Structure 1
Amino acid sequence: MNLTIIFGNGFDKNLGLNTTYPDFYSWLDENQKKESDEIYCNIKEKPENWSDLELALGKYTFDNEIMPDKFEESYENLIEDLNEYLLLEQGKLGTEFSIGDSITELFYSIEKNLVETGQNKNSQIIRRYLSQPTDVNFVTFNYTDTLEKTMGYKKFVVNKGVNQVLVKLHSPIHVHGTLNSSMVLGVNDETQFKSEIFDNEFPEFFVKNKNLTDHVNSTELDKALEVIFSSEVLFLFGVSLGDTDKVYWEKIAEWLLYGGDDHIVLLYDYETPMGSISKVVQRRMERSWNNTKDKFLKQSGLSSDDQKRISKQIFPLYGNGFFNIEEAQKN
């Protein structure tokens, strides 16, 4: 089996790092970074508007009379300061967590999670997949090197009943660049910012699709799409399913649609605690499943009929038992 795990910021948060945008803004404020900068001042005055930095940057160009040169300068300052802050957070990572150990636990906990939330049929399907030799690829939206630091051994055996499953881990693919190297920060497409006021060069870097396709991270994008399309199972962990990465959700929806029942998405809903999933009232339980699936389907770009077709290929997961440093420390 080819399993691809797509990590968002939830992975670093589970490792105990303060890597959210509000964390970054607090650091900016405490360190008095560029007090006269227009965007920095707006973040300080209206932090509620900046929960998603990338979307907020685009919206700021519509809602304010801006000078393009000043905006571009501020945008570049933000990237440099975000890089500095995340380097500090990255340096806090200890050695308590092993991604290999967590993958081993994953082979048991996914099936258990599906059973506990009433998805018995899905559990049987995933059991079949997880009984096969498995190549695990990682696609990460994070700039940090936390995955590399927790990688350790890259080949090991998982005992599944009477079977032994060989697992191979592959090096992570950083589609948005890494700290100190070509960080990609921006919007999904030109509808998400006031593109007409900028020169032709700025969108090449501010629009993620153009940046990833035309500049230094193009090979990483190609690698990411290649492993996604060669996978049988995708596990989306700690991703917000936000608009600024919409191109990926559309590609994954396409992969589900044309791959048929053989393609599965394990969708981890970190906002819904396990205890809120009813094990008694089937209607309430299925409503939870559908709410989780809808978060992805609304970003799919598919027609309503095609959304219904792929819905059965999306298996929701809940709780905090995945890639969790507190759980790792107990074992």
Structure 2
Amino acid sequence: MNVTFLIGNGFDIGIGMKTRYGDFYSEYIKLKIDNENILEFQKEIQDNIKDWADFEEAFGKHSESFEANEADKYLQQYEHFFEYFLEYLKKEEKNFEMPEELEVIKIMERALTNYYKKLQSQDRESIEDFYKWFGNNITYTFISFNYTSILDAFVNIFKNYLKREQRPEIIMPTIHVHGLLEKYMIIGVNDKSQITNKDLSENPEVLAEIVKPIINKGLKMGYDTKATKAINQSDIICVYGMSLGATDCKWWELLAKWLSANTSKKLIILNYQPDCDIARPYTWLRAKNKIINKFLGYGTLTDSQKEKLDNQICVGINQNIFSYKKPKRKKSVIQHIENKNSTEIELQQKSMKLLTEIVERTKQNSK
């Protein structure tokens, strides 16, 4: 049996990392930059912070602020933000305190054993039927939409544990469809229709830089191909920690196609919905319908096709299957202030250096 996990930013957040866009917007907009174009971009984010909850989608819409001949200005803002985001995530990853090996094994064992255990009873029983049939002959694949490598570390520790214990489960190499911090990190939109400025949406340089499938194709790393193959070979797929956003709609359309091809396939969507309270069934049903409608809203499915797929989709709400509470470490107020100040100075210096490099590249490209 092939079980595949699509892992989003909810994984990093769930283990204590500050990887939400909002976590670094507050630092980005405070950077002192001697560049009018970047200052305007900072002000746009600061004044409309709620609209920038999803940077990729918002940046596609942000293209409307530019004229047809201002692609360089648009890309300069993207590149500056990209560079800062990269440095921010590198620092978050570096500062993450990795749990002890035994704790990681417990986390992974619990996640792979219990990811379906808290579903509604009928959904849970349908998944249990798979396990009764296949037993422990399971191949797990993790498709990560994150840029950090913490998931890889967790998976590799558990993979080595399975080998030592001579257990039959197999774990395939983790697939990063959006690259990693140290190699080909990909940030952008799903297709040119999400760049709402019609002129910029036809600009080859803009498309090559911020449309994810085009970037993937150009890189020739095979990220998309490997992920697509893993999905198509799956019996069960679990989507965890992902918002089902439009900038990844290519993958939601692929999952719907995968479900349509075989009625025995099962899709589990574990999603965070802060307004859901199981004591109030109407909130749970509302959240469930919201998730399923959002997922099935991509592509060109007919109502009858959607109704058929609905029976193959299991929804779990507010279930942190990779939960980890890191031990509290006492730190003096002085240490906290020193660390905060040194971080701000370091980021400021890096930002100025990166901006200079971006401006120079822009000048060279315009020659």
Q: Same fold (TM over 0.5)?
A: yes
The one-letter amino acid paired with 1:50 is W
Q: Could you tell me which of 209, 213, 221 is aligned with 1:205?
A: 209
Partner of 1:187, secondary structure, is coil
Distance 1:302 1:258 in 2: 13
Q: Could you tell me which of 134, 137, 140 is aligned with 1:133?
A: 137
Report the aligned-residue RMSD: 2.5
Residue 219 of structure 2 is matched in structure 1 by 215
Q: Choose 24-33 or 181-190, whichever is displaced more.
A: 24-33
Residue 174 of structure 1 is matched in structure 2 by 176
Q: Is the 8 A contact 1:111 1:123 kept in 2?
A: yes
Would the alpha carbon gap of residues 287 and 23 (structure 1) be closer, same or farther in structure 2, given more than 3 Å must change?
Answer: closer
Q: Could you tell me which of 48, 51, 57 is aligned with 1:49?
A: 51
1:99-118 pair list within 5 angstroms: 100-114=105-119
Does residue 1:245 correspond to 2:244, yes or no? Answer: no
Would the alpha carbon gap of residues 247 and 33 (structure 1) be closer, same or farther in structure 2, given more than 3 Å must change?
Answer: farther
The one-letter amino acid paired with 1:53 is F
Q: Deviations over 1:132-179 (max 9, x none)?
A: 42111011111111112223130556xxxxxx9732222211111111
Q: Choose 48-57 or 232-241, whichever is displaced more.
A: 48-57
Distance 1:195 1:82 in 2: 27
State the shift of 1:72 in Å.
Answer: 1.1
Distance 2:11 2:207 in 1: 29
Distance 1:168 1:87 in 2: 30
Does residue 1:145 correspond to 2:128, yes or no? Answer: no
Q: Could you tell me which of 46, 71, 85 is aligned with 1:68?
A: 71
Partner of 2:204, secondary structure, is coil
State the shift of 1:305 in Å.
Answer: 1.2
Does residue 1:308 correspond to 2:310, yes or no? Answer: no
The count of corresponding residues between Structure 1 and Structure 2 is 313
Q: Could you tell me which of 260, 264, 267 is aligned with 1:257?
A: 260
More helix by share: 2
Residue 350 of structure 2 is matched in structure 1 by none
Residue 16 of structure 1 is matched in structure 2 by 16
Residue 337 of structure 2 is matched in structure 1 by none
Distance 2:112 2:181 in 1: 31
Distance 2:168 2:310 in 1: 30
Distance 2:242 2:117 in 1: 22
Q: Choose 227-236 or 288-297, whichever is displaced more.
A: 288-297
Q: Deviations over 1:193-241 (max 9, x none)?
A: 1252363232122111211223244x11110001011000111001010
Residue 342 of structure 2 is matched in structure 1 by none
Distance 2:154 2:33 in 1: 32
Distance 2:284 2:15 in 1: 30
Distance 1:92 1:166 in 2: 35
Residue 154 of structure 1 is matched in structure 2 by 159
Would the alpha carbon gap of residues 73 and 225 (structure 1) be closer, same or farther in structure 2, given more than 3 Å must change?
Answer: same
Distance 1:284 1:273 in 2: 7
The one-letter amino acid paired with 1:113 is K
Q: Is the 8 A contact 2:56 2:188 kept in 1?
A: yes
Q: Is the 8 A contact 2:273 2:287 kept in 1?
A: no
Q: Is the 8 A contact 1:43 1:50 kept in 2?
A: yes
Q: Could you tell me which of 89, 94, 98 is aligned with 1:91?
A: 94
Q: Is the 8 A contact 1:134 1:167 kept in 2?
A: yes
Residue 318 of structure 1 is matched in structure 2 by 317
Does residue 1:269 correspond to 2:268, yes or no? Answer: no
State the shift of 1:285 in Å.
Answer: 5.5
Q: Based on CA coordinates, which of the two structures has the bigger radius of gyration? A: 2
Distance 1:46 1:312 in 2: 39
Partner of 1:214, secondary structure, is helix
Consecutive unaligned residues in structure 1, runs of 5 or more: 158-163
Would the alpha carbon gap of residues 146 and 35 (structure 1) be closer, same or farther in structure 2, given more than 3 Å must change?
Answer: farther
State the shift of 1:50 in Å.
Answer: 1.1
Consecutive unaligned residues in structure 2, runs of 5 or more: 328-367
Partner of 1:138, secondary structure, is strand
TM-score after normalising by structure 1: 0.85
